[in-house]
Amino acid sequence: MSTKKQRSYLRNLKIITDRKAPPRKTNPKSFYRDLVGGMKAGDWCIVKSKDRARVQAGISKYARGRYSFYQHPEQDGRYVFTITK
């Protein structure tokens, strides 16, 4: 006998296995997925230092292994994001 208590809201769930789930009415949107999805090798942009962490986190999810992100050699407080593959 199990000593775990089942949560009350879980007792009310009915699992349906005899048909498909209904289709979604909305699609999850992602600014970074749309941005990176349209970029090809050699495309690049400049990112301000205050936006660096946010942009790098978003891009790393959708461009994993095919981008470069480095400090701009001539402009202080700016970074360069480049698609490499």
Tens-place pLDDT, residues 36-68: 888 899 999 999 999 999 988 888 888 888 999
> Each residue of 9-38: pLDDT tens digit?
677 778 788 998 888 777 777 888 888 888
Spatial separation of the C-alpha atoms in residues 38 and 41, rounded to whole Å: 10
For residue 80, the Cα-to-chain-centroid distance in whole angstroms is 19
| pTM assigned to the model | 0.62
Q: Does the pLDDT value for residue 5 go beyond 80?
A: no
pLDDT at 17: 85
33 vs 8: which has the higher pLDDT: 33
Dist CA 83 CA 60 (whole Å):
11
How far, in Å, CA of 17 to CA of 69, rounded? Answer: 46
